[in-house]
């Protein structure tokens, strides 16, 4: 067994690595900075956390603030090309 993976499998391995990376990123983002997840013992002791500003920072992140100023189109040039009256 000289090679453990055939070249035909490389695109599948790349796609699976990318998807696994996305899953790890999302799980990490949902556990570490999320204000609703209580990891340390002090936060778990309190029944209700009064952390509105922390929740606001978590939900209104930089990407959401950037996309709020953009038009809600996926391909604006193609949309304008096909929607213009000539």
CA-CA-CA-CA dihedral for 43, 45, 51, 55, to nearest 10:
60
CA–CA separation, 9 and 84 (whole Å): 45
41-69 tens-digit pLDDT = 877 777 777 778 888 888 888 889 998 99
What's the pTM?
A: 0.53
7-46 tens-digit pLDDT = 888 899 999 999 999 999 999 988 888 877 777 787 777 7
First-to-last alpha carbon distance for the chain, in angstroms, is: 64
């Amino acid at each position: 067994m000289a090679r453990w993976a055939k070249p035909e499998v490389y695109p599948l391995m790349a796609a699976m690595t990318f998807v696994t990376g996305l899953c790890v990123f999302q799980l990490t983002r949902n556990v570490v900075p999320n204000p609703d997840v209580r990891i340390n013992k002090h936060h778990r002791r309190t029944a209700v956390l009064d952390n509105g500003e922390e929740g606001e920072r978590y939900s209104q992140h930089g990407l959401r603030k950037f996309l709020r100023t953009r038009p809600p189109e996926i391909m604006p040039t193609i949309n304008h090309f096909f929607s213009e009256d000539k």
